[in-house]
Structure 1
Amino acid sequence: MTISENLSAFNNKRIVDFESEISSLDVAYRLRIDYDSEEGAFKEMLTAFCNDPKAAEAKELIIGAWFGDDMENDSSGIVDLLIRNKDKLPKLEYLFLGDITYEECEMSWINQSDVSLLLAAYPQLKHFQVRGGNQLSFGSLHHEVLETLIVETGGMDNQILEEIANATLPQLKHLELWLGDESYGWSGTVEDLKPFLSRDHFPKVTYLGLKNSEISDEIAKALNDASILDGLEILDLSMGTLGDEGAQALLANSKIAQLKSLNLSHHYISDEVSEKLSKLPCQVDLSDQEEEDEYGRYVEVGE
Structure 2
Amino acid sequence: MVKVALDTEKRTAGKQRMWSWEKLRPYAMISPAIVIFSLFFLYPIGYMIFLSFHDWNFISPTKEFVGTANFTYLATDTEFREVVRNSFIYTFFVVFLTIGLSLLVALWLNRSGAIYSFMQASIFSPHIISLVSISMLWMWIMDTDYGLLNWLLSLFGIEAVPWLTSPDYALAALILVAVWKGLGFNTLVFIAGLQSVPRDLYEAAELDQTPPWRRFWRITVPMLSPTLFFLTIIGVINSFQVFETINLMTSGGPINSTNTFVYYIYEYGFRFFKIGYASAAGVVLLVVLAILTAVYFQVLSKRVHYR
Normalised TM-score (structure 2): 0.20
Query: Which one has more relative contact order, counting CA pairs under 8 Å at least 6 apart?
Result: 2
Indicate the structure (1 or 2) with the bigger Cα radius of gyration.
2
Determine which structure has the larger helix proportion and give its number.
Answer: 2
